Amino acid sequence: MKTIKDIAALAKVSIGTVDRVIHNRSGVSKKTKERIEKIIQEHGFQINKTARILALNKKYNIAVLMPTVESSSDFWYLPKKGIEKASEEFEMHRISVNYFHFDPLNLNSFKDVFDKLLENSFNAVLLAPIFLNEAKERLIYLDQRKIPYVFINAELEGANNISYIGQHSFDSGALAAKLMSLLINTEDDILIVKVRRDNVHHSTIEDRISGFKSYFNTRKTPIQIHEVILPKIKDQETINTLLHKKLTNHQIKGLFIPSSKVSVVANYVEEHKLKHLKLIGYDLNEENVHLIKNETIDFLIDQDAFFQGYEGTKTLFNFIINNVVPPKNRYLPIKLLTKENVKYL
């Protein structure tokens, strides 16, 4: 473990420059910043004990911007549990966590809640920037106020987040495609089912779809890929009508649902006894686990939801309290589950 002086000497820069990098302040070239960060990561960084004790006596406010959690079967239930666990562990540092919840299927809700967050003052922000453009416009205000932020679940290229913690969505889509190519024949078609309210770019979902399509494109298979958008997940009748219409195409054998909403489709498939259809989806909520156990869903991809919240929160705490600079990308395992291994999590 090195002091700030040692790091400055190793990087051949002034102590002020190292300090600027550690506190994520501007005025350091990208190249120098990267060199200093590399040294810190390699040698570790022993912070000044007195400064640390002062820091421990301060109070910190963290804002969390994430979708609403209504029940334990919601995807965001586990990340929230992770945030709570991390907060408890750091309680002695007097940290308070303030949640700003939005409807993940509703763009306006995301904008409104983010704007509300910006009206307040925080030491750090943990967020899922699932609507890319709208997030980008608002992150500028965090940058201006030098408030550090960490992304979980959804990635946003080129942003000044100190870290991203989540799955590599593109590669996880590619994996889904590989499995789909094993489940169906080359003369079959595939249907991608998106569940959402707004017709906007939802980053995680779109990245998964890009990865999925890219797998088939590079292999030049004759497989046709269709898409359908299910607009309101609570209106099962509309869902049934839309799915029924799409599935009159009897070439369709594989269904890829790039979200935890795979159960919406799986319930339709189960009800209509469409056993010849192969389903791949995401996440291990109770309903999905039931549907993979009875083999209505063939493969589920899990993304360590609890860990995203837990590690995201710890990363922010360690940055603002202990000056620990995290890796920019923290890609989590892409876990593959079937009926056979779902009981051993």
Measured CA distances, 254 to 87, 91, 222, 249, 250 (Å): 42, 48, 14, 12, 11
Q: Which stretch binds its own copies (CB under 8 A): 152-160, 245-253, 315-323, 333-341?
A: 333-341
Q: Is 150 exposed, middle or buried (0-12, 13-18, 19+ CB in 10 A)?
A: buried
User: Least distance in Å: CB of 296 to its own copies?
Assistant: 15
**x/- letters, 150..189, toward its own copies (CB under 8 A):** -----------------xx--xx-xx--xx--xx------
Q: Are 298 and 275 in contact (CB under 8 A)?
A: no
Classify residue 92 by its DSSP letter: G
* Of 124 and 175, CB closest to its own copies: 175
Work out whether 18 is an interface residue with its own copies (CB under 8 A). Answer: no
Joined tokens for residue 130: 């699932």
Instruction: Indicate which single residue of 14, 98, 108, 341 sits in contact with its own copies (rule: CB under 8 A).
Output: 341
User: Least distance in Å: CB of 231 to its own copies?
Assistant: 31
Number of residues that bind its own copies (CB under 8 A): 24
Phi/psi of residue 208, nearest 5 degrees: -65, -40
d(CA 248, CA 193): 15
Work out whether 334 is an interface residue with its own copies (CB under 8 A). Answer: yes
* Of 200 and 342, CB closest to its own copies: 342
Work out whether 42 is an interface residue with its own copies (CB under 8 A). Answer: no
DSSP 161-206: -SEEEE--HHHHHHHHHHHHHHHS-TT-EEEEEEE-SS-S-BHHHH
User: Least distance in Å: CB of 178 to its own copies?
Assistant: 6
Residues in contact with its own copies by CB under 8 A are: 167-168, 171-172, 174-175, 178-179, 182-183, 331-341, 343-345
